[in-house]
Structure 1
Amino acid sequence: MTSPGLRERKKARTRAAIREHALRLFEEQGYAATTVDQIAEAADVSPSTFFRYFPAKEDVVLADDYDPLLLQALRDQPADAHPVEAVKLAIRQVFSAIAADDWAVERRRQRILLSVDDLRARALHQYTSTMGQLAAAVAERAGLPADDFQARVLAGAVMGVCLAALPPGEMSFEEHEFVALDRALDLLRAGLPLER
């Protein structure tokens, strides 16, 4: 994998600055009371620049930067790996590489998302889109059509298991959370047997 060029690094810094100032303002004065103009001013960018990075104010909170990385990591797993095992490996690969500062930002983003009713409702809608992307990646690995029913069911089950094991807003992906997630995905792979 090649390193991002100067232009990409500058764009990433600008995007991170916009998000940082937006999160700070949301925490200080509330999500509803914060305007795009205030965020742009705090980040020292124009409102039009803000909209180049985030289509709307809510996207500052809703945009999950890790989904594309996770989907690519899933596609990169060994072809002979069981789909659930490939998901486990991809999750570890992506989330164990996240720096502590980035996790702090992610936890702030999730706290705000969970504290604002409109954002929480939109996030639930986004799960459907994420499930479709995950299903397409699972299907691609298996050589099936992107809309394959089995891949979609598996993707929904994987997402449900992950949400049950690590509820939103509680993730930091320390080792005990990886263990809990691995255990949950292993139960899914085993057919979810209920044992005493």
Structure 2
Amino acid sequence: MTSSPSEPAGLRERKKARTRAAIQRHALRLFHEQGYSATTVDQIAAAAEISPSTFFRYFPTKEATVLYDPFDPLLIEAAVGQSAALSPIGALRATMTFIREQLPAEEWEAERQRQGLVFREPELRSAVMDKFAEGIDVLADLAARRTGRAADDFEVRNWAGAVVGVVLAAFLGAAADPEADMLLVIDQAVAHLDAGLPL
């Protein structure tokens, strides 16, 4: 799906985002119906009515269709926009509440299934650890922007690592429960961290 050179950049980006979302949607449906290992890139491309070469312009691998989180940019934008009076953790919790309230039920159900697949499939579960490591950089940058400190400040990165740790623990626990509200579980984990992790 190529764009005309005369198309505005914003329109091209929206078309690319729609195509990426469609590919991911078909991939997740096929993974659910026939299993992750049994599903091929060719099958995903056929379901999305694109060529395999077009598939690879959007996702470098099959596993990337699951690991790609379409809500990351929304979460970051919402977190940056929270009140300056909030602590970094307060901003994260307010962001999760905002996303939970704004996300249509069917989109959240699809996201919950994506997250469950990530933690059920051993191949994906190991790959997602890299994503959590990247999350430390994202959270350190967010905390730095909110506190006026450097993103590579020891305490800033330590805070970011702690958040990633409790979020990972929450993900692993919630993934085992098909009825779990992932955002609520993560919020509880972050609140526990904010309270000093009392036992």
Q: Which category describes the TM-score, using the shorter chain as reference length?
A: 0.7 to 0.9
Conserved 8 A contact 2:96-2:187 = no
Q: Which residue of 1 aligns with 2:18?
A: 13
Q: Which runs of 5+ in 1 are unaligned?
A: none
**Residues 191/104 of structure 1: CA separation in 2 closer, same or farther (3 Å cut):** closer
Q: Which residue of 2 aligns with 1:110?
A: 115
Which amino acid in structure 2 is aligned with residue 60 of structure 1? T
Map 1:13-32 to 2 at 5 A.
13-32=18-37
Q: Which residue of 2 aligns with 1:36?
A: 41
Conserved 8 A contact 2:67-2:118 = yes
1:124 maps onto 2:129 in alignment: yes
Map 1:55-94 to 2 at 5 A.
55-94=60-99
Which amino acid in structure 2 is aligned with residue 44 of structure 1? E
Q: Distance in 1 between matches of 2:118 and 2:191?
A: 29
Q: Which residue of 2 aligns with 1:96?
A: 101
TM-score between both structures, scaled by the size of structure 2: 0.82
Conserved 8 A contact 2:79-2:92 = yes
Q: Distance in 1 between matches of 2:144 and 2:43?
A: 43
**Equivalent position SS for 2:69:** coil
Q: Distance in 2 between matches of 1:164 and 1:31?
A: 24
* Per-residue deviation, 1:11: 2.9
**Residues 163/190 of structure 1: CA separation in 2 closer, same or farther (3 Å cut):** same
**Residues 56/183 of structure 1: CA separation in 2 closer, same or farther (3 Å cut):** closer
Q: Distance in 1 between matches of 2:186 and 2:38?
A: 37
1:149 maps onto 2:158 in alignment: no
* Per-residue deviation, 1:115: 2.2
**Residues 44/181 of structure 1: CA separation in 2 closer, same or farther (3 Å cut):** closer
Q: CA RMSD in A?
A: 2.3
Conserved 8 A contact 2:82-2:94 = yes
Moved over 6 A (4+): none
Q: Which residue of 2 aligns with 1:191?
A: 196
Count of residue pairs brought into register by the alignment: 187
**Percent of paired sites with the same residue:** 50
Which amino acid in structure 2 is aligned with residue 40 of structure 1? A
Deviations 1:96-148 (A, max 9, x none): 21111111211221222122111000112210101211111111211112212
Report which structure shows greater RCO (CA 8 Å, sep ≥6). 1
